[in-house]
Chain A
Amino acid sequence: MIELQYYLSNLPDGLIYGLLAMGIYISLRILDIPDLTTEGSFGFGAVVSVLVSLQGHPVLALFAGILAGAFAGVITGCLQTKLKVHPVLAGIITMSGLYSINLVCYSLTEKGATTNLSYDKNTVFEKVKELLGIRGQYETSVVKAVVSLGIVILVLCIIVWFFRTHIGLCVRATGDNPDMVSASSINVDRTKIIGLMIANALIGLAGAMASQSLGYSDINTANGTLIYGLAAVIIGEAILGKRGPAIGVLSAVLGSVLYKLIVAFVIRQNLFGEKSANLMKFTCALIVAITLAIPAIKQKAAESKQRKAAR
């Protein structure tokens, strides 16, 4: 029972970070753009969310998080298309610019200069608990899991629907063959910006929800989200394979949940000794590197096998 409760407590985060993974899937796989805005838009979503929540509107805060992320995506998109900045650099520029903006945001309350803000129970999850009159740690986990699952399913449906619309088709084609999109009289710059906007809007929402789940928002919460998202996308693809956008976004969420559970398992079992929790980012990098290297390793193996057979 304690085991189950422990893993259940990790489920909400897995789902929430699934939104982040969806965002990364869209920029990386659908748009074919390495977008490094992630940590900026995640952090921006988080701080905007806490500021709006402290005014007593935790639900509105989620939408504010979405807008914050979308804003970051549009900035990166404009840098890439209108100003012809290299995609990687464009992301880095937005990300570091946002870091300062986030710091300014944190010092907007009467508490003055600080790098973290507490929600003081003004979160969606607390509101739902209040509404249902629920207490207790276990029940809290269940509420969080159900609320996150609901939001994730809703977002999934919207994204899947979007990629079936005409504009969605244009965004997909932009990542596949931009010349052809332009030859079909579609403004490629615009579809790129729209794609990055949606990707980062999801990441902003993830930031907002993750901080609400924690109960506070810290400038450093965003650290490591990019590599986390990449790992989730890759794990998801390892399970469901590389298929259309619908399966793709679903696999990203699945990858995220699975990844969170793996991490939880590693920490629980102390696989890396007492300091397991400290090695998480390293594990993450390792998983990404290995998975990305597998095709090359497979090919090398096949080649050497062939060479041996030829002798």
Chain B
Amino acid sequence: MLEIQNITKVFEKGTVNEHVAIKDMSLSLKKGEFVTVVGSNGAGKSTLFNAICGSFMVDGGKILLDNEDITYKSEHKRAREIGRVFQDPMKGTAPHMTIEENLALAYTRSQRHANPFSSAITKKKTAFFRENLARYHMGIEDRMKTKIGLLSGGQRQVVTLLMCTLSVPKLLLLDEHTAALDPATAEKVMEITKTIVAENNITTMMITHNLKQSLSTGSRTIMLDSGEIILDVSGKERENMSMEDLIQMYSMKKQKEFDNDRILLSSEE
């Protein structure tokens, strides 16, 4: 489904601030796979998502989605097939527009050939949106004419999630989308996420800092560090893995780095 071949991304190339955010990374996702992505701050998780979405062009390598080479496709064109939810609830919605207007806009993805001068909001569409919102029992469906900016963070994330999946994307990218929510709401939004993904069998990648959640959700876990995939587990191996193992793996890697640094420093003396 998603095929990433040896991609590299270097920020501020040729300056003193040169930073390799993604290093010769390859990754392959099967259709319907739900992958959780973990890694420390600055590991390159969001950068990986940005590369897939086309926020920037990669410096090397190839990205294929459903056998189509999208490496040089513009961001908005990729968005037809890729849905994305950010950590910041403000990012995914237009705050001064109503819920139905936001949904109608997002629904564009499925109506590429519609007449641009057709009515933006029709009774039929509104009914369809309401019906979909009502399933999550958050009371949002009765507030279709409310400006999104007035909703709570959790409610906004649910609307954003729905906006991304109303027309089913080939790939769904979730970047710590419950991190800004309180535990109870986060739980609820997570449940809704699982429901939507399972129902539509969407290939999904989810970044999370919750190690327990990373093992309990989805079918595969990858760990990133300094722009490289340092762990990729699924199936039995993953089932037998505990949170402690994950933490240990993680610190082992860090320890190695630490040792390297020490060797480097001592050799300088």
Contacts and interface: CB of A to CB of B under 8 A. Distances in A.
A215 interface: no
A306 interface: no
- Summarize B's interface: helix, strand, loop or mixed: loop
Interface string B140-172: 000000000000000000000001100000000
Those 3 A-B pairs whose CB atoms lie nearest each other, nearest first: A176-B94, A167-B116, A185-B79
A166 interface: yes
A54 to B, nearest CB: 35
B109 A166 contact: no
Nearest to A168: B120
A170 interface: yes
A176 B97 CA distance: 8
A180 B91 contact: yes
A184 interface: yes
A166 B113 CA distance: 12
A169 B98 CA distance: 11
Interface in A176-190: 176-177, 179-188
Contacts of B109: 184-185
Contacts, number: 81
A166 B119 contact: yes
Contacts of B163: 184
A182 B105 CA distance: 10
B76 A176 contact: no
A62 B163 CA distance: 42
Chain A interface category by residue count:
20 to 34
A164 interface: yes
Chain B interface category by residue count:
20 to 34
Contacts of B118: 165-166
A34 B151 CA distance: 29
Contacts of B117: 165-167
Interface of B: 74-77, 79-80, 83-84, 91-97, 101-102, 104-106, 108-109, 112, 114-121, 163-164
Contacts of A172: 94, 97, 101
B94 A185 contact: no
A187 B79 CA distance: 10
Contacts of A187: 74, 76
Given A166-B118, A166-B120, A184 B79 contact: yes
Contacts of B79: 182-185
A167 to B, nearest CB: 4
Nearest to B53: A183
B106 A164 contact: no
B92 A183 contact: yes
Contact of B97 (A167, A173, A186, A188): A173
8 contacts: A165-B116, A165-B119, A180-B91, A180-B93, A181-B94, A183-B164, A184-B106, A185-B80
